[in-house]
Chains A and B, each alone.
Chain A
Amino acid sequence: MGKLSQIKTVKLPVLIIALLSFILSGCAANNRNMSDVAKQLRHNLPVETAVTKLEAMKVESQSVAQYALNLGYLQLVNGDYPNALVNFEKAKQTMASLQAISISENLGSATVNETFRSYSGWPTDQVLVHGMMAMAYLLNNDLNGARVEILQADVRMNKLAESDKDKGQLAFVRYLAGVVYELNGEIDSALISYRMALSILESRTEAIPPSLQQSLIDLTAQIGLTQESKQYQKKFRLTVSKAYSNKQFIFAFDGVVTQMQQAKSTLWWDIDDVYLSVALPKFPRNNYVLSKSYIEAQGHEEVTYEIENIESRAREDLQARMPAITAMALARAATKYQTVKELNKKDNVLGAFANVLTIVSEVADLRHWGLLPSSIQVATTYATTGTLKLSNSYGQQTLGTPDNVSDKHEKAPAVAAIPASSQSEEDDIAPVQQDSVQNSNEQLISRKLNTKSKAARKRAPSEAVLKERQSAEKIPKEDIAYLNYTSNKNAVILLSSLTNKVHIANF
């Protein structure tokens, strides 16, 4: 009888650990699947297929926000704005509801692993979801909806800045707020937002995109802040724009952000015959190389410049969380060690079994908004009428190691481009290829894609060499679309390296 009760006593903890490991394996699998999709997108997986793959996934309740963010982003760049908004809203609501500290999730993460926590979004996610929603509203021709989102983003950024002035501060979202206000005729609010974007970039000592520089100069001049306008002119070596009747705000989402990896260390603790294991998340080396877009209007070429490096923001977010993650991992290791040690005293076999389970259950939380672009770039043009030619830089967006291989393929020029002059003037913005028109907001320009051979990928030179070579060589460009611009309306244009669609909304 005594032996039986002893077996019952020792079996319970083992069963609990086994059961928890089984339950939580779902979270890790979810993230693995989403991470796989991200890697495939880097290898030119069509966005439509990626959306289908994501939609087919069964999502654990702890990862609902992460899933909705990823799916919403793909739907946005695929032009499915209504569904993108539904998913972003779901992610936003979920993240907001998870801001309070959870007792059960903290206990779970202290005893089993970090994936026990619900994904409540990193600071960048919490702000960027508003930015992406604003973009979806804009492209859906809903300026008021976009305005609501940028107001919410402002509240969120102010809240995050209370604990750390740089936390969650995104120049892209501030710049986008400026664009929304400018489109809405609220010049003074637009100027404030542009100033905030400038302040963020300056505090990071990052380059100021010319479109932001020009907006600051023009808006201060318009409002009558002559002295400030002159200061910006002197600082940026630019002058006030010539009178214009419309403005095109171009945004380019480039690449797919690097996926996190697990760094797991297991060591044998000889004194008590126990294996100790600690798993932490980490970002691998950043192999992203910026790829720019080009806009030619009335014989003048504009280039998109980076306003937000998401690769850096993601790494900063992880860096800020690492002390807490590491402390929790060590506490967890201590708890597991103590449990196994006690079981070892009672029964060596069960102790060993429990030890295996504690090692297996130790997984790092690799969840993040993993389908985001590596870089967000901006440009503005002031074409009143004529043709707007959009093109992209030729070459690889990600230069890499064999397992993180390059992913942009060599591309042939756009097929069958027709001279702009032959276009009907009835359309406000019309692509030259009539067959490719899907709707008024979206033009699909077909193009040929030639993939690189595996052998060629394996021969990829080192990152430093490639970066140097890229900067040294004149990078050829690939045409994406020709747009006949005959209206006097402002426009927001979104380009994404994931898809060959050009998204346009007129205001």
Chain B
Amino acid sequence: MRLLAVILCVVILSACGSTKVQRLDSSETVDLSGAWNDSDSRMTAETMVADVLNRPWINRHVSQKGKPPTVIVGSIKNLTHEHINTNTFVSDIERELINSGMVEFVASANQRGDIREERKDQDLNSTEATRNAAGQEIGADYMLTGQINTIIDANASTQVRYYQVDLTLISMADNRKVWVGQEKIKKLVENAKLRY
């Protein structure tokens, strides 16, 4: 019965904990569930960008056209077991490539709609000096597409989660694949068998 009293006290007191918030560095890796997280997105983007910038397609393009290549982001398909927001991953890649100064990016299909609407609005409402004319958009030389896949092997409390990110850069002029990048992540997730 004393044991029961102790259990009861613990049960009641366990509900009394307050919410705690701790600020973390955005580059710090914190794995909680084993699912795809911000660290996976960031690290994959960094690795793949480093790869894409060190391949011969950029130099070949610059020597042929005399200007840096212009890239547009197409669809990055999520074919994984998780609801992954691929936008953060795409943003990471865009940021790294633009900041490298070796590649130019143009707005994606979704973003273009808003910009064109704004340009139409400028036509009506902006001064002549500040107005941006239509028909001056830069056409992309390459489109970046890709997909994220997973294979999950699980038993009662252990999981192996394997992620494979495949990105392809395709020439808009002739559909040539000028770069294919691949990044793999493998995680072993062991769930607790007991809880309080």
Measured between beta carbons, the chain B residues less than 8 angstroms from A155 are: 81, 152, 154
Q: Please list the 4 inter-chain residue pairs (A to B) with the smallest Cβ-Cβ separation, ordered nearest first.
A: A100-B195, A13-B1, A151-B81, A100-B192
Q: A103 and B196: CB pair below 8 A?
A: yes
Docked complex Cα distance between A107 and B1 (Å): 12
Give a binary string over B5-18; 1 marks a CB under 8 Å from any A CB, 0 the rest: 10110110011000
Q: A16 and B1: CB pair below 8 A?
A: yes
Measured between beta carbons, the chain B residues less than 8 angstroms from A163 are: 156
Known: A99-B157, A102-B195, A144-B77. 13 other contacts (CB 8 A): A12-B1, A13-B5, A16-B4, A98-B195, A100-B191, A100-B193, A101-B193, A102-B194, A103-B196, A144-B78, A147-B79, A151-B81, A155-B154
Can you pick out 20 interface pairs between chain A and chain B where the beta carbons lie within 8 Å of each other? A12-B5, A13-B5, A61-B15, A98-B195, A100-B157, A100-B191, A100-B193, A101-B193, A101-B194, A104-B10, A108-B7, A108-B11, A145-B83, A148-B78, A151-B80, A151-B81, A152-B81, A158-B154, A162-B155, A163-B156
Docked complex Cα distance between A61 and B14 (Å): 12
**A111 at interface by CB-CB < 8 Å:** yes
Q: A101 and B152: CB pair below 8 A?
A: no
**B82 at interface by CB-CB < 8 Å:** yes
Measured between beta carbons, the chain A residues less than 8 angstroms from B4 are: 13, 16, 111
Docked complex Cα distance between A102 and B194 (Å): 6
**A86 at interface by CB-CB < 8 Å:** no
Residues of chain A having any CB pair with chain B under 8 Å = 12-13, 16, 19-20, 61, 98-104, 107-108, 111, 144-145, 147-148, 151-152, 155, 158-159, 162-163, 339
Measured between beta carbons, the chain B residues less than 8 angstroms from A61 are: 15
| Cβ 8 A contact of B7, one of A101, A107, A147 | A107
Docked complex Cα distance between A104 and B7 (Å): 7
Docked complex Cα distance between A20 and B78 (Å): 48
Docked complex Cα distance between A162 and B7 (Å): 34
A interface, over-half SS? helix
Q: A148 and B81: CB pair below 8 A?
A: yes
Residues of chain B having any CB pair with chain A under 8 Å = 1, 4-5, 7-8, 10-11, 14-15, 77-83, 150, 152, 154-157, 191-196
Our count of residue pairs bridging A and B at CB distance below 8 angstroms stands at 64
Q: A99 and B5: CB pair below 8 A?
A: no
**With A12-B1, A19-B8: A104-B196 Cβ-Cβ less than 8 Å:** yes
Measured between beta carbons, the chain A residues less than 8 angstroms from B10 are: 104
Docked complex Cα distance between A104 and B155 (Å): 25
Q: A159 and B5: CB pair below 8 A?
A: no
| Cβ 8 A contact of A148, one of B7, B83, B194 | B83
Measured between beta carbons, the chain A residues less than 8 angstroms from B83 are: 145, 148
Query: Which residue of B is nearest A85, CB measured?
Result: B83
Docked complex Cα distance between A145 and B82 (Å): 9
Q: B195 and A148: CB pair below 8 A?
A: no
Query: Which residue of B is nearest A10, CB measured?
Result: B1
Docked complex Cα distance between A100 and B192 (Å): 6
Q: A104 and B1: CB pair below 8 A?
A: no
Measured between beta carbons, the chain B residues less than 8 angstroms from A148 are: 78, 80-83
Query: Which residue of B is nearest A101, CB measured?
Result: B194
Measured between beta carbons, the chain A residues less than 8 angstroms from B78 are: 144, 148
Docked complex Cα distance between A159 and B4 (Å): 35
Measured between beta carbons, the chain B residues less than 8 angstroms from A159 are: 154-156
Query: Which residue of A is nearest B5, CB measured?
Result: A16
Measured between beta carbons, the chain B residues less than 8 angstroms from A99 are: 157, 191
Docked complex Cα distance between A107 and B77 (Å): 47
- A98, A108, A147, A148 — most chain B CB neighbours (10 Å): A148
Q: A339 and B155: CB pair below 8 A?
A: no
Measured between beta carbons, the chain A residues less than 8 angstroms from B191 are: 99-100
Query: Which residue of A is nearest B10, CB measured?
Result: A104
Docked complex Cα distance between A20 and B156 (Å): 32
Measured between beta carbons, the chain B residues less than 8 angstroms from A162 are: 155-156
